[in-house]
Amino acid sequence: MEERYQPDEQDRSERDRPLHARITAAVLTALREASGDILVFLPGGGEIRACSESLRSALEDKTAGISIHPLYGDLPFEEQERAILPSGKRKIVLATNIAETSLTIEGVKVVIDSGLTRRLQHDPATGMNRLVTVAVSKAAATSGKAGPAVSVRASATGFTAAMLIRERSLLATGNPSGRSLPLILELAVWGVKDPANLSWLSPPPTVAWESGRRLLMDLGALDPEAR
């Protein structure tokens, strides 16, 4: 599989353009230089709609043989089916990267990756989760790309090199109420009060741990000594 970067690392003016403009440029290049359908991974529905509008405008005089299909969870099933099933036209499918490792669309020869993903992250200040847009990990960026002949990163090589080596643990990003509480309770049964006393492959973040322990104390599951 061939891997390309667009824009090039040296093209700083292109890198500063909005995401929908960079994706449109990458798609237009792929239409000229490669054959087959094109699959674009984007972080969310808003980016998909913006890229769809940008592409329709750029391809205004060329849409006779090309169809553009958004693909994300909130779409009606019929629209999702049209994006996945074979078509008589050359397809451009704009999908959220939540399907990156499981989505198979027959006829796709080019994959364009925005290099961004959206996920829930716990905010200790509010005690609630919120959606944040972050760079994908290298593991996610290289997954699910065996089929297409060309994979295009819509980000410079330097940006890709700076991606997270791996996804942060769910304890680091998720709601401690849902992620760390069972672990804190299990260790309390063992008599462990301080996670620093154990050897971890991925140590639980202090903020999530303390937040979870305070909640368990408030609920009466732990006493003031964290027992």
Q: What is the pLDDT along the chain (227 residues), one digit of tens a residue?
A: 556 666 554 455 555 678 889 899 989 988 988 888 999 988 888 899 999 999 999 988 766 789 999 988 888 888 888 888 888 889 999 998 765 555 677 888 888 888 777 777 766 666 667 777 777 655 444 444 445 556 666 654 444 433 343 444 544 555 545 567 888 899 999 998 888 888 888 888 787 788 888 888 999 999 988 88
Max intra-chain CA distance, the chain: 71
Taking the domains of the chain in order of start, what are their residue ranges?
2-167, 171-219
Backbone CA torsion sign across 177, 180, 184, 190: positive
Two structure tokens written together for 95: 């999908």
CATH number belonging to domain 2-167 = 3.40.50.300
Q: What pTM, to 2 d.p., does this model score?
A: 0.62
Residue 202 φ then ψ, to 5°: -135, 100
